[in-house]
């Protein structure tokens, strides 16, 4: 399966919705709802041939759209960076084990800023034994206790800010914010300082959106640790 997504908000939403409705074979109201999401917005999940055809049709209609494999990569497929050194020519990402990935800015294919969530569920069975007068009476004093059993379920969810960097040759690195107070972390300072180096239209006001890492160049010559 492949995913089809729009990467920018359409300049003419109504015309874009009509184009999506025609290409995907859905009603206009559904097309409006799918395009109303903040980009990058998922609009369809289809077989590879149909997904590629839909993305092509949307691009012909003037939308910024692409199709991609629905398989989700894991940290085994990319370098998990502990530090990053940023310069005018490019960046170097280094893992805790010392493995390094160097990439020049012209070789950067995409930089995404977002969040990932982890959900864990546990289930345990608790057994106890207690005095039971009713059972003692029923059994004529042969048995004075009763066993009880109950199942206790719990869940825990954690959310982590991340920056994903993709190179044109297929390499990828991920930076994850490991601090409990993200507002004081190097990750957040990197975002703010980088945004301040971007043009006014792409700067601080859009710090919560996907950020071009080129604006981070020169943040700290010695690198930033996550």
Q: Tens digits of per-residue pLDDT, 3-29?
A: 898 888 888 889 889 988 988 889 999
pTM exceeds 0.85 for this model: no
Across 174-178, 186-190, 208-212, least confident range: 208-212
pLDDT of residue 145: 78
Provide the 10 A C-beta neighbour count for residue 181: 8
Q: Judge whether residue 100 has pLDDT over 90.
A: yes
Rank 45-49, 72-76, 107-111 by mean pLDDT and report only the highest. Answer: 45-49
Residue 191 has pLDDT above 60, yes or no: no
Q: Could you tell me which residue, 115 or 207, shows the higher pLDDT?
A: 115
Q: What is the pLDDT of residue 164?
A: 83
pLDDT of residue 224: 44
Q: Do 171 and 103 contact (CB within 8 A), yes or no?
A: yes
Mean pLDDT confidence for 133-154: 79
Per the prediction, the chain carries an average pLDDT of 75
Q: Which two tokens stand for residue 38?
A: 């903040």
Can you give the pLDDT at residue 226? 40
Give the domain ranges of the chain.
2-69, 75-118+157-225, 119-155
Query: Residue 10 and residue 4: Cα distance in Å, rounded?
Result: 15
CATH fold for domain 2-69: Ribosomal Protein L30; Chain: A, (3.30.1390)
In this predicted structure, the answer to whether residue 83 has a pLDDT above a threshold of 70 is: yes
Q: Could you tell me the pLDDT band of residue 76, with boundaries at 50, 70 and 90?
A: confident
Identify the three-state secondary structure at position 205.
helix
């Amino acid at each position: 399966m492949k995913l089809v997504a729009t990467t920018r908000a359409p300049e003419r939403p109504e015309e874009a919705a009509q184009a999506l409705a025609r290409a995907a074979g859905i009603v206009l109201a559904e097309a409006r709802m799918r395009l109303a999401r903040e980009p990058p917005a998922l609009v369809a999940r289809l077989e590879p041939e149909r997904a590629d055809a839909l993305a092509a049709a949307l691009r012909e209609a003037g939308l910024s759209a692409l199709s991609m494999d629905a398989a989700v990569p894991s940290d085994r497929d990319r370098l998990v960076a502990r530090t990053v050194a940023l310069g005018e020519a490019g960046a170097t990402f280094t893992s805790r084990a010392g493995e390094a990935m160097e990439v020049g800015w012209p070789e950067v294919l995409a930089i995404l800023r977002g969040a990932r969530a982890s959900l864990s569920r546990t289930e345990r069975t608790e057994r106890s034994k207690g005095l039971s007068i009713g059972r003692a009476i029923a059994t004529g004093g042969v048995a004075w206790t009763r066993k009880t059993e109950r199942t206790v379920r719990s869940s825990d969810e954690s959310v982590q800010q991340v920056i994903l960097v993709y190179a044109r040759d297929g390499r990828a690195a991920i930076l994850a914010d490991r601090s409990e107070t993200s507002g004081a972390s190097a990750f957040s300072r990197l975002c703010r300082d980088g945004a301040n180096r971007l043009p006014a239209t792409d700067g601080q006001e859009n710090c919560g959106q996907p950020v071009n890492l080129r604006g981070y160049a020169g943040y700290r010559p010695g690198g930033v640790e996550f």
